[in-house]
Structures are given as C-alpha cells and as structure tokens.
Amino acid sequence: MERMIVARKMSRDIRRKLVELIELEPSIWDITSDDYCLNDRKKNAWARIMRAMKDEGHVCSMGELKVLWKNLKDQRKRRRTSTTGSAAGREWAYGDMLSFMDKTDFEGNTVRNLDENGNSTVPTFTDSPYVDRLEQSKEAVSIKKKKKEDDPIAMIRSATEVIKTCMEERESEEKRRVPDETGQEARKTNEDKFYHFGNWVAMQLRELDSHTADNKVHIIATVLMTDASISVNLDNDVRRGSYSADRYNTGSRTKDELFP
C-alpha cells in the first residue's frame, strides 16, 4: 500500500513538472507561435524538457513524456467539453496548471507541421482560428524555394535550350543524310556501266515522233530478246531498210508489254 502511494506521488510529480516545463516551450503547444509549425523547434524543445526532467531525478524516456502530455491534453479537452458525468462534476488537479492553454481553445482547424526547410509533414488537429497566420508562415518559409521553381525566366531559358538542342541534332542528321544519299547515287552510277547508255537511248527516243519511236523500241527489244545470229540479220535488214516487225516476232508483245 505504501509503495502504491509513493508511486502515485511520483506520477503526480512527474506530470506537474512536465506541465511546468511545457509551458516554457510554446513551440509544443502555442499554435499562435511562429515556432509551432516547425518540427525541428519542437524536437529541440522536447530535448530540453528531457534534460530538465533528468536533472530533477525523474527517470523516464522521451516517448513516455510525450504519452503523458498527450493524455493530459486529452483529459483537459474531455473535461472542458463534458456537461454531464463524473468528468464535469469533479475538480481536476491539473486544470489550473494547464490554464495557459486557454487561448488555444478554438474548434475546427487543422494546421500543418513544417520542418526548417518549409516542407510539410502529416497534418495535426488543433483548436485554433490562426490557420491563416500559420499558412502565411509556411508560405514565408518556403517562398524562396517556390520562386526558384516557378521562375518564368528560368523556365523560358530551359525551354530555349531544349529547342536549340533539338534543332542542332536535326541539322546534324540532315548533313549526315545528304552526303550519304549523294554517295549512294554516285556508287550506283559507277557500278552500273549501262546507266548513261540507257539515259542516252531514252533521250533519243523522246525526240522522235510516236510511230518512229515505237518501231525503234521494238527493234531494241527484239535485239535484246533474240540470240546473236538473229540480231545480225536484223541489223542487215535495218541497214537495207527492209525491217519488218512480223519477221522478228517477240512473242506478240507490244511496246507497252515490253516496257511497262
């Protein structure tokens, strides 16, 4: 029984000391403070509280202190919102000590926690009308970062560099392709020894009337499609002017069939 009394007294002493120390650290509880939305400030505050508790001889971990503080806040909120039951009718030992939190008693707002760089973390519920001020604080902390990301000059400069790179690559590709195609045409011309002869024949035929051109095409086709002995006779007939298409039958094929 005596041990239980001592344990309860120690528990009350720890809670009282914790409340006293937290009152000195507005970054933990005062949502109107500029430091409230900065997680790094809260971590430093809890570290100071932890050292002070150890100096007082209270052996407890950081996690235990945070749980105690959460329980105290929850009990305070239940007692302030309850109108019936034991919570409403019984005086609470820590009520007066936590009166410094009265200015945070407003409903229906959510405030974001930020680190020193203005990065948002998980939102935490608070009872405060100071959301606008806290959001402005958040914007002020990260304004340099936003300006850097949204700078229109930087965006234009970046887009210009991309376009310039694309144009240079395209021009380079064009320069590679044109000589390549020219070289292929030249190689084709050199490899085919009949290339120029064929062009010359076509040029000569275009200058003739249709009937004469058709006869010459037929003669050329006949020569190409018959053996050497017949070609000699054809040559003699042409020289004598006695050429007859019927004599040198190419399989009853017309000029269009021979040269589609």
Residue-wise pLDDT for 13-59, tens only, equals 888 999 999 999 999 998 888 888 888 999 999 999 999 999 988 88
133 and 243 fall within a common domain? no
Pick 239 or 71 by higher pLDDT.
71
The answer to whether 34 and 137 are in contact (CB under 8 A) is: yes
137 and 210 fall within a common domain? no
Pair of tokens at residue 21: 């120390």
251 and 185 fall within a common domain? no
Closest Cα partner for 133 from 30, 34, 39, 35? 34
pLDDT in tens, 68-115: 999 998 888 888 887 665 555 567 788 888 888 887 766 444 444 555
Q: In this model, does residue 146 exceed pLDDT 60?
A: no
Q: Give the C-alpha separation, 79 to 70, whole Å.
A: 14
Q: Is the dihedral of CA 48, 50, 52, 54 positive or negative?
A: negative
Q: Give the C-alpha separation, 92 to 114, whole Å.
A: 34
Q: Give the C-alpha separation, 171 to 219, whole Å.
A: 50
112 and 163 fall within a common domain? no
Structural domain including 161 reads 152-191
Q: What is the pLDDT of residue 152?
A: 57
152's enclosing H/E stretch is: helix 152-191
114 and 227 fall within a common domain? no
Please state the φ and ψ torsions of residue 124, each to the nearest 5 degrees: -120, 140
Q: Where are the alpha helices (DSSP H) in 30-151?
A: 39-55, 62-81, 86-89, 131-150
25 and 61 fall within a common domain? yes
End-to-end CA distance of the chain: 119
Q: What is the pLDDT of residue 51?
A: 93
Q: What is the pLDDT of residue 104?
A: 77
Helix/strand/coil for 125: strand
Pick 233 or 168 by higher pLDDT.
168
pLDDT in tens, 157-212: 665 666 666 667 667 776 766 555 555 655 555 566 677 778 788 888 888 898 88
137 and 170 fall within a common domain? no
100 and 64 fall within a common domain? yes
How many CA atoms lie less than 13 Å away from 78 in the CB half-sphere?
Answer: 13
76 and 26 fall within a common domain? yes
Helix/strand/coil for 180: helix
Pair of tokens at residue 89: 């009718």
Q: Give the C-alpha separation, 145 to 147, whole Å.
A: 6
- Per the structure, how many domains does the chain have? 3
98 and 177 fall within a common domain? no
170 and 207 fall within a common domain? no
Q: Last residue of some domain: 167, 191, 215?
A: 191
166 and 234 fall within a common domain? no
Q: What is the pLDDT of residue 80?
A: 81
Q: Is the dihedral of CA 60, 61, 62, 67 positive or negative?
A: negative
Helices first, then strands: H and E counts in the chain:
11, 2
